[in-house]
Amino acid sequence: MNWVLAMNIMNTKIALITGAGHRLGAATANRLMDSGWFVFVHVRSSMKPARELLEQAEVRNNRKCGSIVQADLTDDGQLKAMVEEVKNHPAVKANGLSGLVHNASFYSQSKFEETSFESFRNLNRLHMEAPYFLTQQFLPELRATQGSVVGVVDTSWGKAWEGLSHYTSSKAGLRQLMLNLAGELSPDVNVNCVAPGAIMAAEWESEHFTKVLEKVPMGRSGQASDIAAAVQHLLEAPHLSGQVLHVDGGWSIEDA
């Protein structure tokens, strides 16, 4: 690392966002980078959009804004290698870690009787095991900054979403993990959740998404920027912990 970069990084808040190559994670990375954070943009496969995201942020802000890390979070070896890479980065060695955002996800619909046990396990790995491991491994760096963890969950809690039990149950696990850790890691580290409602449709669900919007009191989808703002707020609010912030246009107060 050259000395100019070293000087830039001094006193900069550092965040790791999983699944930040595009969509909501990318919007969150952009918002944090534009607010002065240094962001580890984690991707599994979206290297090209992540490079563009970082390049554009660096042009806008005229500084080094982050770094890309790549791992399939369901693969123990890749998960461990990513942890080592982030821990050994000069920015983290200098400043610790102020934010950890568990955003990576895989959302697909399939009938319960047709969903393989392997798919179910992989979602548990992605939504629960990886956040558990990452939070545990980065605890010293988070404690060093009185940092903050955000789990990105959803609005399915207590509902029965057709063909999505594998997805909703693993998100429920993430939510409970975050709330439990909010107590356990207090007062050193804040832990919260953001629960997006209907924000950005997956490719397979455009018809379903339109039906969902009929139930949303505000009658429209949210924007990726709404989620980014909520995550940033929780990362930077020193007296907020153990909260689930629903960003869903009021959907969670309606029936399933």
Positions touching ligand NAP (CB under 6 A) are: 19, 21-25, 43-46, 72-74, 103-107, 126, 152, 154, 196, 198-200
Min dist. Cβ of residue 103 to ligand NAP (A): 5
User: Which runs of consecutive H residues, i.e. helices, occur in 116-255?
Assistant: 117-124, 130-137, 139-145, 165-184, 206-215, 224-236
> Of the two residues 21 and 96, which places its CB atom closer to ligand NAP in the complex?
21
d(CA 148, CA 17): 12
The answer to whether the beta carbons of residues 241 and 182 sit under 8 Å apart is yes
Residue 42, strand partner residues: 69
Nearest to residue 146, comparing CAs of 95, 202, 222? 95
> Of the two residues 44 and 89, which places its CB atom closer to ligand NAP in the complex?
44
> Of the two residues 94 and 200, which places its CB atom closer to ligand NAP in the complex?
200
Min dist. Cβ of residue 144 to ligand NAP (A): 26
Min dist. Cβ of residue 251 to ligand NAP (A): 10
Min dist. Cβ of residue 31 to ligand NAP (A): 14
**What is the sign of the dihedral through the CA atoms of 228, 231, 233 and 236?**
negative
Residue least distant from ligand NAP (Cβ): 19
> Of the two residues 9 and 191, which places its CB atom closer to ligand NAP in the complex?
191
